[in-house]
Structure 1
Amino acid sequence: MDTGMRADDGDVALETLFLPFIDGPISWPSQGGALFLRARDGWPLHQRAWPGLVCEQSFRPAADALERSGFALATAQEDTRHPLVLVLPPRQRDESRALFARAIARCASGGRVVACLPNDEGAKSGESDLARLAGPVSSLSKNKCRVFWTAPLDGPADVTLAGEWADADATRAIADGRFVSRPGVFAWDRIDAASRLLASHLPGDLVGRAADLGAGYGYLSVELLERCPRIASLDLYEAELRALELARRNLAPFAGRVALDFHWRDVTGGIDARYDVIVCNPPFHAQTRADRPDIGRRFIAAAAQALTPGGRLWLVANRHLPYEAELDARFGRARIVAQQDGFKVIEAVRGSEGNPR
């Protein structure tokens, strides 16, 4: 395994999750290993050997980091049971409850579930939820986080509740049935206001090969195809696999009209194909709530690299995010098309090859 810097060496929730095994309240299983749901790489995974550890992660940057460090990756479709299941629950509560239900379902008879949350991201609620599902739990607090674990299990303590919570994360119709979505993906229960603003300004003359960077459940892609009949092909790029699977379903009605392709990919690492049109509502947060305008700038750089000369980027962003310098440096021209409700819509046109400005 790589012993260099990890994906997030300041991940206190990850550090706290492993404290019960370091300090001794519970032991790592001698056989059968462990399944780690929503796994993240970091130095706590490398402080000692964790025999049989298998990781599951649907967010591509985190999955890539785990693979680079040599950890085995499982998919959500696998159903092997393990004597230990580790969980870093997400913030969205329905998704988190469904993850607890799945953790118990993936736990072998006599096994345990161990989870950790930061105090300011619902640690007490998470502990209470796991206790409702599994019975009494033990816990310890450190690093402004709480790690909590079940007694040895033989299925859920409340079978009915486990079924209800497993369904809490189910795919469902939103926006009067136009789309399907599920808890936990970006703007999962609505049409995002920024994306709606961008869609309303897309011109009908967009033509050729197109891409949607950070496509989410596919709203912008659907709007692009409905508004721009001369789009010949469309590639959707999305780092969250759960969202990309929804986009496949939402774009299915267009499969007979245009060539569609779906890429589970971290756009910040660049893309290889070439396009005439790119639409984008780039993310500006990572795993923390702090603004990360560097992510949006890397999306802009990837778009500039992928566009053909004369290709057009249509982008929406929060008005305060400082993207103008990046756009000026990488595109022949850029203009603000609209500003409304704290957002800005920008069109940028790629200059001649080798001379973007």
Structure 2
Amino acid sequence: MAASQDAPLQTLFLPFASGALAWPQAPVLFLRAREGWALRTHAAAARLVCVQGFRPFAQALEDGGWTLREEADLEASDDRFPLVLALPPRQRDEARALLARALARVAPGGVLLACQANNEGARSGEGDLQQLAGLGGKLTKHHCRAFWTGPLDGGHDEALRTRWAALDAPRPILDGRFRSRPGVFAWDRIDPASALLAEQLPADLAGQGADLGAGWGYLSAEVLARCPQVAGLDLYEADARALALARDNLAGQRARLAFHWHDVTAGIDGRYDFVVCNPPFHTPARQDRPDIGQRFIAVAAQALRPGGRLFLVANRHLPYEQILSAHFGEVRVAAERDGFKAIVGIRGGRP
């Protein structure tokens, strides 16, 4: 997401610009933090602790010089902050859990401030915070809603906070075959596009492979179950929460596995005999971005050995044919169903 278009980030800082809230002298915690001009303008001199599990956003924060902290490390601590900022996601259970965990990090007398886009659940988010801890104020701008508590010193509904904090906890799905959690892609089901691609995997796949955009591990699990000659598999995933689930879901496999918290669009270093891929085609804010999938295809081609195969699934309407033809010596549609197409590309050159 381009910084200039990050309306929730801009709106989040308006209460300080208007004087409705004052920035504290002590360190501030920012959950689901994002880099952008609004952050640099309003918090440039601040001691800011950022938590961000989406690798492209985390990389931008690192490049901007901000201090990043892992969510698990924060959860294991007793640290409290006079101000906690949060950009809740669209998914309701995940957003409620974020607000509940954020509330637990507010020091006595401190404030929790959140912001969401109107089309990302802002009104519900405001109502949830009011129910959880009461509202000290709110404002709307840029088709977004910022809302915050009054100074907190107990008085919130701790039983509700505890229940909400567990709403996005990992849990068994699909009759216990896998574990997943609200907020990750297709969290409680097998994505039909991935299911279509899994059906096209040939049993003779062998050697070292990669799963680009591995999610919680379904496609990788199918590769290992259907293709006994696969010796190793590298999983690349930008969502740290999904990657942690994949690690759990693939525990005990016979093949050598490696898990990479990585933005595939930045390129990968491995050399592979095959690649499987159900690439994203929008940002976390649901903006259509077919160029992301196109970049996944180019990266896959660069990572494949000559003669290596790409197994790709995509929405039927996405414009991938030109870039596939440019990077692969042979391209064919293996199957189509329910608006999806499964494509096999073979890299040119001698194996």
Match of 2:300 in 1: 303
- Residue 154, structure 1, aligned to residue 149, structure 2: no
Structure 2 CA distance for aligned equivalents of residues 84 and 14 of structure 1: 16
**Cα 1:16–1:119, aligned 2, differ >3 Å: closer, same or farther?**
same
TM-score where L is the length of structure 1: 0.95
Measured after TM superposition, the shift of residue 136 of structure 1 is 3.0
Measured after TM superposition, the shift of residue 156 of structure 1 is 6.0
Measured after TM superposition, the shift of residue 53 of structure 1 is 1.0
Structure 2 CA distance for aligned equivalents of residues 106 and 291 of structure 1: 34
Match of 2:314 in 1: 317
Report the secondary structure of 1:9's partner residue: helix
Report the secondary structure of 2:101's partner residue: helix
Measured after TM superposition, the shift of residue 332 of structure 1 is 1.0
Structure 2 CA distance for aligned equivalents of residues 271 and 206 of structure 1: 21
Deviation track 1:172-218 (CA, whole Å, cap 9, x = no partner) reads 11111110000000000111000001001111011100110000000
Structure 1 CA distance for aligned equivalents of residues 94 and 62 of structure 2: 24
Measured after TM superposition, the shift of residue 321 of structure 1 is 0.2
- Residue 46, structure 1, aligned to residue 40, structure 2: yes
Measured after TM superposition, the shift of residue 74 of structure 1 is 1.1
Match of 1:185 in 2: 184
Match of 1:138 in 2: 137
Pick the aligned partner of 1:266 from 263, 268, 284: 263
Measured after TM superposition, the shift of residue 288 of structure 1 is 3.1
Matches within 5 A, 1:83-102: 83-102=82-101
Report the secondary structure of 1:308's partner residue: strand
Structure 2 CA distance for aligned equivalents of residues 29 and 88 of structure 1: 19
Would the aligned equivalents of 1:59 and 1:239 in 2 still touch at CA under 8 Å?
Answer: yes
Structure 2 CA distance for aligned equivalents of residues 340 and 161 of structure 1: 43
Would the aligned equivalents of 1:104 and 1:155 in 2 still touch at CA under 8 Å?
Answer: no
Match of 1:228 in 2: 227
Pick the aligned partner of 2:281 from 284, 306, 310: 284
Name the Cα RMSD after superposition: 1.3
Identity %: 62
**Cα 1:202–1:173, aligned 2, differ >3 Å: closer, same or farther?**
same
Unpaired runs of at least 5, structure 2: none
Match of 1:3 in 2: none
Name the aligned partner's letter for residue 64 of structure 1: Q
Measured after TM superposition, the shift of residue 137 of structure 1 is 3.3
Match of 2:107 in 1: 108
Would the aligned equivalents of 1:104 and 1:156 in 2 still touch at CA under 8 Å?
Answer: no
Structure 2 CA distance for aligned equivalents of residues 61 and 214 of structure 1: 13
Match of 1:72 in 2: 67
Tell me which moved more, 55-64 or 121-130.
Answer: 121-130
Deviation track 1:96-133 (CA, whole Å, cap 9, x = no partner) reads 00000110111111110000111122111100101111
Structure 1 CA distance for aligned equivalents of residues 277 and 287 of structure 2: 21
Structure 2 CA distance for aligned equivalents of residues 56 and 221 of structure 1: 28
Would the aligned equivalents of 1:119 and 1:146 in 2 still touch at CA under 8 Å?
Answer: yes
Unpaired runs of at least 5, structure 1: 1-5
Match of 1:339 in 2: 336
Measured after TM superposition, the shift of residue 154 of structure 1 is 2.3
- Residue 212, structure 1, aligned to residue 208, structure 2: no
Structure 2 CA distance for aligned equivalents of residues 261 and 153 of structure 1: 44
Pick the aligned partner of 1:20 from 15, 34, 37: 15
Name the aligned partner's letter for residue 345 of structure 1: A
Structure 1 CA distance for aligned equivalents of residues 250 and 214 of structure 2: 11
Report the secondary structure of 2:3's partner residue: coil
Match of 2:246 in 1: 247
Deviation track 1:9-30 (CA, whole Å, cap 9, x = no partner) reads 1111100000011110110002
Measured after TM superposition, the shift of residue 155 of structure 1 is 4.0
Structure 1 CA distance for aligned equivalents of residues 155 and 337 of structure 2: 49
Report the secondary structure of 1:83's partner residue: strand
Structure 2 CA distance for aligned equivalents of residues 152 and 28 of structure 1: 13
Measured after TM superposition, the shift of residue 143 of structure 1 is 1.1
Would the aligned equivalents of 1:213 and 1:237 in 2 still touch at CA under 8 Å?
Answer: yes
Would the aligned equivalents of 1:7 and 1:62 in 2 still touch at CA under 8 Å?
Answer: no
Tell me which moved more, 83-92 or 153-162.
Answer: 153-162
Name the aligned partner's letter for residue 159 of structure 1: E
Structure 1 CA distance for aligned equivalents of residues 205 and 155 of structure 2: 53
